A and B are shown apart, each in its own frame.
Chain A
Amino acid sequence: MSTERIKFYQTGTFTAGNRLLDEGTRTVQSRMDRTNSLNSGHRACQGCGEALGARYAIDAAVRASHKQLIAVNATGCLEVFSSPYPESSWQIPWMHSLFGNAPAVASGVAAALRAKGRDTVKVIAQGGDGATVDIGFGCLSGMFERNDDVLYVCYDNEAYMNTGIQRSGATPPFAQTNTTPVVSEHPGNPLGAGKNVPRIALAHGIPYVATASVADLHDLERKVTKAIGICGARYIHIQVPCPLGWGADPAHTMKIARLAVESGLFPLFEAEWGTVIQSSSIRRKVPVERYLELQNRFAHLFGPPPDTDAIAGIQAIADHNIALYGLLR
């Protein structure tokens, strides 16, 4: 069968475009040998950032492991939309056990592979932010601390979306959710709440920690590929916009993800053994309003009257990230 080579490049952005990259570093979105490990036909919403992130992360991992990959999934949107009995979108061995135990289940898979002498098979555990930063956090920390041979991927859409948009430990300040409603003097999620799990992962001193975004799928694939090549506990935290939960246009998923990166709110970095070794610089810094105004969960900040203090608070977080990771170069 003959194939036609298509060159993709984006317009209206500062991205270089594939045509300017050499063959080896090009992002190829579709080709004959793509595994489609998370196959089409699943029930994710239109514009779902998690489905996109998972598809790219898992396909990259399958490629990097030479199709020697087992995936463990926490309960959540990804699990529910991909595996309603008797259907499954998964083309790889895949297991779901509980909401809070995916890291431990994956540790068990890795231990069994070692005991059985099948060490060449790689293990991925994946879950949303609720499964990762809240209910499964003990298991995650234990897996890190033991340096079990597992790559954990968190798809962070910043709230419990599967149960209908409730606040999680990864929900950003001022965001409206169904449990942080806009009804009081201090509407939305309180400023100062929440935890930064990539930095907590880093503090465990594990071999590899990275953040990634669906805004830069090439970078995401590169990080997953690199992580698959490393032994021990590895963590990749991917921001995945949720049109439903964020009150955003499904067509804006990529745009919003890109603005999160370009504003400094979601810094992209890599760390090895507890030290940050690389970060993706911001080419054109945008004010956080550009990111916030596209999402209904922040609509209350824009008034009337606008909550300038809250917006300044969020801008301060972005500026802190920019300084911390040296994102403006």
Chain B
Amino acid sequence: MTVQIEGSQAVAETVALCRPDVVAAYPISPQTHIVERLARKAAKGEIGRCQFLNVESEFAALSVLIGASATGARTYTATSSQGLLFMAEAVYNAAGLGLPIVMTVANRAIGAPINIWNDHSDSMALRDAGWIQLFAEDNQEAADLHIQAFRLAEELSCPVMVCMDGYVLTHAYEPLDLPNASQVDRYLPPYSPVQVLDVTAPVSIGAMVGPEAFMEVKYLSHHQHLRALELIPELTGVFEQHFHRRSGGLCTPYRVEDADIVVIALGSVIGTIKDAVDELRHEGVAVGCVKIGCYRPFPKQQLRALLEGVTRVIVVEKDLAVGMGGIVSADVQLALKGPVHTVIAGLGGRSISKASLKQMIQAARGERLADPHFLDLNWNVIDQERSPRRDTRRAGPMAEQVLRAVNAIGVKLI
């Protein structure tokens, strides 16, 4: 059924159709609309016997799900930014225990300076925690990925993060095709774990493992994780049969046939990149793009196959490894065994315009792209702030200085 609906509400409606037994959440912008709607639905009894717990922190939210999942419940939470970092210890723990928890990350920047707008710093910080990470391009995909995520998590006994851009997707209204309960039930069988906390068959879960076996345990979880690279294409295929649309997948190409230049990105910015690609194609530039839909496990081989014969690869990423550069581009470089351009863009919600993307592509063609290149950086502010710094030792935050330099609202308060 097609409805005009906000991204968060669509995700909540879809998660409810997946029949979670336990949902625990702590509010953080821009995740709130998702859990508010789930709380309402659970309270109205629209999700069966689903227990919704209002907990005191994100760390508690995921910890509650760890206990619930180990007891055989289908579990869900959502968070963002600082919240994801606050639950970090439990994020690793859930993966180590092989618990198929599904979590939405409404992607948001990490402070300081505090910033509530979108980038991918939060998910990237926990990319190696053992969770499968799926990134949604639009709200239809965001909703659909949750249905796939529960099935993927439960088949692999591995937690899944569904990453969707904060505000850009969570707060955007779009016409979506929302599935009905019987469709979801046919695709997603009930959760039936092999080992749970059960008084009739007692087990000890979470034992200490020493040097004699720890490496083997870790290898096996790595091996299990990599199985997602086979399972995801299979599950998206089955999903298409059930729901009559393509959603998800490891990486999706757009106009890469005969392309010399390919832009790689994750999440909602792919929409703008596609527009830029279309216009440049019209102007005769052989350009295409690839969306990475599954960032962990990283689809190395699939990416390599898609980019065979491409002379120039640009990775546009909404994150920054301070002191290093790009995070995604490092992985892409490893996969391609060749040079890539790193473009850091959209940090803290800085908008990424089609015009800037086109300029970026042209600059790359003319070998005029810095490494890494920071898209739409205000160099006046940087220079103004940087020159006195060279001469004076100065400790402390620089956010206020920059705000003053750009004449932002904050300056009026000082």
Contacts and interface: CB of A to CB of B under 8 A. Distances in A.
B204 interface: yes
B67 A95 contact: yes
Contact of B202 (A92, A116, A141): A92
B56 interface: yes
B391 interface: no
Nearest to B208: A84
Given A105-B63, A108-B64, A112-B67, A93 B49 contact: no
Given A94-B202, A97-B97, 4 more contacts: A101-B60, A108-B68, A109-B68, A146-B53
Given A90-B202, A116-B21, A97 B63 contact: yes
A271 B130 CA distance: 44
Contact of A72 (B67, B201, B207): B67
B205 A96 contact: yes
Nearest to A104: B63
A94 B71 contact: no
Interface in B37-87: 48-51, 53-57, 59-61, 63-73, 75
Contact of A101 (B59, B201, B202, B208): B59
A72 to B, nearest CB: 6
A92 B204 CA distance: 8
B50 A107 contact: no
B318 to A, nearest CB: 30
B56 A109 contact: no
A100 interface: yes
The 4 closest A-B pairs by CB, nearest first: A108-B67, A142-B56, A96-B206, A104-B63
Contacts of B53: 107-108, 111, 146, 148
Contacts of A86: 207, 213
Interface residues of B, number: 45
B283 interface: no
B210 interface: yes
Contacts of A138: 56-57, 59-60
B286 to A, nearest CB: 52
Contacts of A79: 208
- From B51, B198, B199, B213, name the one whose CB has the most chain A CB atoms within 10 angstroms: B199
Contacts of B54: 146
B68 to A, nearest CB: 4
Interface string B160-201: 000000000000000000000000000000000000011101
A69 interface: yes
A116 B198 CA distance: 12
Contacts of A115: 21-22, 48-51, 68, 73
B101 to A, nearest CB: 10
A104 B209 CA distance: 23
A70 interface: yes
B205 A95 contact: yes
A193 B181 CA distance: 56
Given A67-B199, A108-B22, A80 B208 contact: yes
Contacts of A84: 207-208, 210
A98 interface: yes
A138 B72 CA distance: 25
A112 B72 contact: yes
B59 A139 contact: yes
A121 interface: yes
A95 B209 CA distance: 14
A152 B51 CA distance: 21
A159 interface: no
A117 interface: yes
Contacts of B67: 72, 95, 97, 104-112
A25 interface: no
Contacts of A67: 199
A27 interface: no
Given A88-B204, A96-B207, A139-B59, A111 B93 contact: no
Nearest to B212: A85
Contacts of A113: 71
19 contacts: A80-B208, A83-B204, A85-B207, A85-B209, A88-B204, A90-B204, A94-B205, A96-B206, A101-B90, A104-B60, A104-B64, A105-B70, A108-B53, A111-B51, A112-B22, A115-B73, A116-B73, A138-B59, A142-B55
Contacts of A105: 63-64, 66-67, 70
A89 B70 CA distance: 19
A324 to B, nearest CB: 29
A121 B57 CA distance: 26
A142 B24 CA distance: 12
Contacts of A96: 204-207
A70 B50 CA distance: 20
Nearest to A105: B67
A234 to B, nearest CB: 17
B193 to A, nearest CB: 11
B240 interface: no
A36 interface: no
Given A70-B197, A70-B199, A91-B202, A111 B73 contact: yes
Contact of A83 (B65, B89, B97, B208): B208
B59 to A, nearest CB: 7
B203 interface: yes
Interface in A64-86: 67-70, 72-73, 79-80, 83-86
Contacts of A114: 49, 51
Contacts of A104: 55, 59-61, 63-64, 67
A145 interface: yes
A109 B71 contact: yes
Contacts of A146: 53-55
B199 A68 contact: yes
Interface string A111-129: 1111111000100000000
A300 B89 CA distance: 39
A281 B93 CA distance: 45
A108 B24 contact: yes
A112 B21 contact: yes
Given A94-B204, A114-B49, A70 B57 contact: no
